[in-house]
Amino acid sequence: MTETEDIANSTYDVVVLGAGPVGENVADRTRAAGLTTAVVESELIGGECSYWACIPSKALLRPAIAQAEARRLPGLSASVQGPLDAAAVLARRDYWASDWKDDGQVGWLESIGAEIHRGHGRLSGERTVTVTAPDGTRKVLTARHAVAVCTGTRAVLPSLPGLEEVKPWTSREATSAKAAPGRLVVVGGGVVATEMATAWQALGSRVTLLVRGKGLLNRMEPFAGELVAEALTEAGVDVRTGTSVESVTRENGTVVVVTGTGDHIEADEILFATGRAPHTDDIGLDTIGREPGSWLEVDDSLRVTGSDWLYAVGDVNHRALLTHQGKYQARIAGAAIAARASGAPVQSDPWSAHAATADHDAVPQVVFTDPEAAAVGLSLAEAEQAGHRVRAVDYDLGSVSGAGLYGDGYRGRARMVVDLEREILLGVTFVGPGVGELIHSATIAVAGQVPISRLWHAVPAFPTISEVWLRLLEAYRDN
């Protein structure tokens, strides 16, 4: 057999293209329904989240946040004034990223009965995926019922002359670097930019954060970005808003950045956290009459518009670029594929296990900076733009007893956006140390459309930060 010769075709009920958390969960649900399932992956089983995003980034951030919190506690603060042990932090990060080996996740997929095909998978016609293995051999996989595209996204770099020669960091290099650069420029104002600025500043880098817009985290309430920017500045990050990058060069190993205001900034590395694009440019969309590199529009069962066999699950459909939402979609897609394969109807009502309704109005997110920023649902501006008659209710989190006990000088803010017609919550935002663990209560309130009159009877424990719920409800009632 030559290295490019096709080997025999294999037929499955379902073929999953991409073995990140989303693809793994689709496979889990289809296998649980008794459907034969093949999973195709060109890199590590476990995907971006496990090795270059959620897991390693949070492993880097947790020591930085824990140290910042400890420094706010009398009796402990004097013991944690020194620098972090960067080598120990990076070693723990490596452990949580499984040293970039996927044996454990391979074992899990095999344990559920999914078959793994290593190599680059491309659609090659209806219900067909051709896999080119690392050695050049090819296999054609045919799906009886469905192909699920779970290929995620890739980092987008700006069009700057000579940027490729600079070898900039993207989120992958930022989460897998083996040492802290002495000087790091971070370009961007979103989640990756703020989290990595937090982590590497704490690990010893001198960080300059260049933000083209007016502030940070512009998809959240404005006060979220303001509080995070204030804290980053106090931690030593040079935060520059309204600053564009005009050119980047690397001279004798040093990165030289020229900004729109004419400033020259020197650094050892530069990270561009300037957006994501769908990883669909080379998966054979052209063979089924679709545009390579495009987002794939889907219905609430995650089936691609205009198709009866193709599903797009997770980031690739652009509904919510978050791992937990992708896994949620995977559960929906798996149930819908199984139902259609058995000939059962796929329901579209909100109670159905086959409809991804939470992606419309109850998407939670946590930014693991110091302070944390957590939000679910609509911001005030989004609610007003959508035509709702709303009222924002704010409360100073630092005035809550549980927050004050959390550490001296606690700074934070909470907001709930109330639909005045139905008296339910359309959105909630918390900013402050430790608020990431509050967001699920808000998600339940928003997703469940719980009446405010009923929330009054959900009594928060004292003294916890959750007492802010009582204060928000009191502020709504009394004003």
pLDDT over 70 for what percent of the chain? 97
For the domain made up of 10-46+102-154+278-358, give the CATH fold.
FAD/NAD(P)-binding domain (3.50.50)
Mean pLDDT over residues 330-344, rounded?
Answer: 94
Q: Where in the chain is the domain with CATH 3.50.50.60?
A: 10-46+102-154+278-358, 163-274
CB 255 within 8 A of CB 185: yes
What residues are designated binding site for FAD? 58, 121, 315
What residues are designated binding site? 58, 121, 188-195, 275, 315
Average pLDDT, the chain: 95
What residues are designated binding site for NAD(+)? 188-195, 275
Nearby residues of 443 by Cβ (< 8 Å), 6 or more positions away: 362, 364, 376
Count of Cβ atoms closer than 10 Å to residue 63 Cβ = 19
For 2, counting Cβ atoms within 10 Å of its Cβ (0-12 exposed, 13-18 middle, 19+ buried), the class is: exposed
Among 55-64, 78-87, 110-119, 386-395, the minimum mean pLDDT is found in: 78-87
- DSSP of 328-379, one letter per residue? HHHHHHHHHHHHHHHT-----STT-TT---HHHH--EEEE-SSSEEEEEE--
pLDDT at 4 (0 to 100) = 45
Q: What is the pLDDT of residues 253-300, one digit of tens each?
A: 999 999 999 999 999 999 999 999 999 999 999 999 999 999 999 999
CATH superfamily, with its number, for domain 371-478: FAD/NAD-linked reductase, C-terminal dimerisation domain (3.30.390.30)
Does residue 350 surpass a pLDDT of 90? Answer: no
CB 219 within 8 A of CB 191: no
Q: What is the pLDDT of residues 41-99, one digit of tens each?
A: 999 999 999 999 999 999 999 999 999 999 999 999 999 998 999 999 999 999 999 99
Nearby residues of 6 by Cβ (< 8 Å), 6 or more positions away: 138, 139, 140
Among 127-131, 188-192, 405-409, the minimum mean pLDDT is found in: 405-409
CB 440 within 8 A of CB 434: no
pLDDT at 6 (0 to 100) = 54
- The backbone torsions φ and ψ at residue 123, rounded to the nearest 5 degrees and listed phi first, read -60, 135
Q: Where in the chain is the domain with CATH 3.30.390.30?
A: 371-478
Helix/strand number for the chain, H first, E second: 16, 21
pLDDT at 103 (0 to 100) = 97
Q: What is the pLDDT of residues 308-333, one digit of tens each?
A: 999 999 999 999 999 999 999 999 99
Mean pLDDT over residues 114-123, rounded?
Answer: 97
Query: Which of 290, 438, 321, 448 shows the shortest CA–CA distance to 372?
Result: 438
pLDDT band, very low/low/confident/very high, at 479 (cuts 50, 70, 90): confident
Give the Cα separation of 356 and 348 in Å (integer): 9
- Residue 20 corresponds to which tokens in the numbers above? 């990140």
CATH 3.40.190.10 fits 163-274, yes or no: no
Predicted structure pTM score: 0.94
Of all helices (H) and strands (E), which one includes residue 326? helix 323-342
